[in-house]
């Protein structure tokens, strides 16, 4: 459950800050104070991006270890979502590498290459995150089938729609509520794993 909270906060922060970093970098190219303001904002947003991505990496390890327990229990139902969820791990690592590479190039005085490399790594990371996102949707639908849980179904649909941040947070809140309920049922013996 810690993984859910850390994952949501880290992932959303990382993506938003990565996008804002590249927008900000392009928005403050010159002027007397523009360069300093832009550089300061880029540094602040790079730091926030690295923090967000680091939290995402930590949470993905929690998420993957949880899914591994389901794979051990029912390999036919949960092996595919676990393989796809690894895309989240690769995605956030690629984003982190991209931010570090872009920052190094930016501070060595090669801003055009920094922007190009940053965008390339961001696109690559987003492709892997997309694969992980597909795995997450499949996981929620499989959890719905195995535990006959309408909350996992709703969470899977909200995650699949990917409309905005609020529905995503609602989905993760539903997952948190349902996993808490399932944990209590498993501990009390109502559900046998």
Instruction: Quote the mean pLDDT of the chain.
Output: 76
Q: How far apart are the first and last CA of the chain?
A: 18
At 29-76, the pLDDT tens digits run 554 445 555 566 667 776 776 776 677 677 777 777 788 888 888 888
Burial class (CB in 10 A: 0-12, 13-18, 19+), 75: exposed
The residue-averaged pLDDT of 108-135 equals 84
Domain spans, the chain: 2-188
Calculate the alpha carbon distances from 182 to 73, 142, 175, 187 in Å. 15, 14, 10, 9
Q: Give me the pLDDT at residue 153, please.
A: 92
At 128-157, the pLDDT tens digits run 988 988 988 898 899 899 888 899 999 889
Q: Which one, of 35, 62, 64, lies nearest residue 136 by Cα? A: 64
The residue-averaged pLDDT of 115-133 equals 86
Q: Which one, of 155, 148, 157, lies nearest residue 182 by Cα? A: 148
Contact call for residues 11 and 56 (beta carbons, < 8 A): yes
Which tokens go with 35?
A: 């360069």
More confident residue, 79 or 164: 79
C-alpha 78/C-alpha 71 separation (Å) is 5
Instruction: With a cut of 80, say whether residue 2 has pLDDT above it.
Output: no
Q: Give me the pLDDT at residue 142, please.
A: 92
């Amino acid at each position: 459950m810690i993984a859910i909270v850390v994952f949501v906060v880290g992932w959303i922060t990382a993506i938003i800050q990565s996008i804002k970093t590249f927008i900000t970098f392009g928005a403050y190219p010159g002027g007397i104070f523009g360069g300093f303001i832009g550089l300061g904002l880029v540094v602040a947003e790079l730091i926030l991006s690295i923090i967000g991505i680091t939290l995402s990496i930590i949470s993905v390890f929690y998420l993957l270890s949880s899914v591994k327990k389901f794979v051990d229990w029912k390999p036919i139902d949960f092996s595919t979502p676990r393989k796809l969820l690894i895309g989240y791990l690769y995605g956030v690592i690629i984003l982190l590498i991209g931010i570090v590479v872009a920052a190094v190039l930016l501070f060595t005085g090669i801003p055009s290459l920094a922007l190009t490399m940053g965008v390339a790594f961001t696109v690559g990371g987003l492709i892997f995150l997309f694969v992980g996102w597909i795995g997450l949707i499949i996981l929620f639908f499989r959890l719905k089938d195995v535990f006959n849980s309408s909350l996992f179904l709703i969470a899977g649909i909200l995650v699949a729609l990917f409309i905005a941040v609020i529905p995503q947070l609602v989905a993760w809140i539903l997952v948190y509520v349902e996993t808490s309920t399932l944990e209590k049922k498993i501990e009390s013996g109502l559900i046998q794993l």
